Amino acid sequence: MFRKHSLLYVLIIFLFLGCSSNQDKDKTIIPRAKLVNVICDIEKSQSYIDIVPDTLSQNTMQKKKAFREEVFKKYKITENQYNESIEYYSSVPDSLDKLMNDVLKKLDKDAS
Number of domains within the chain: 2
Q: Say if residue 24 is in the same domain as residue 65.
A: no
Please state the pTM of the whole predicted model. Answer: 0.71
Q: Give the pLDDT confidence score for residue 28 in this predicted structure.
A: 85
Question: Residue 97 pLDDT > 80, yes or no?
Answer: yes
pLDDT digits (tens, 9 = 90+) for 28-83: 899 999 999 999 999 998 888 777 766 556 677 888 888 999 999 999 999 999 99
Mean pLDDT of the chain: 78
Q: Do 18 and 36 belong to one domain?
A: no
- Between CA 91 and CA 86 the distance in angstroms is 9
Is residue 42 domain-shared with residue 20, that is, in the same domain?
no
Q: What's the pLDDT score for residue 2?
A: 41
Domain membership of residue 106 as a residue range:
31-111
Shared domain for 24 and 64, answered yes or no, is: no
- Whether 48 and 14 map to the same domain: the answer is no
Q: Within this chain, do residues 71 and 96 fall inside the same structural domain, yes or no?
A: yes
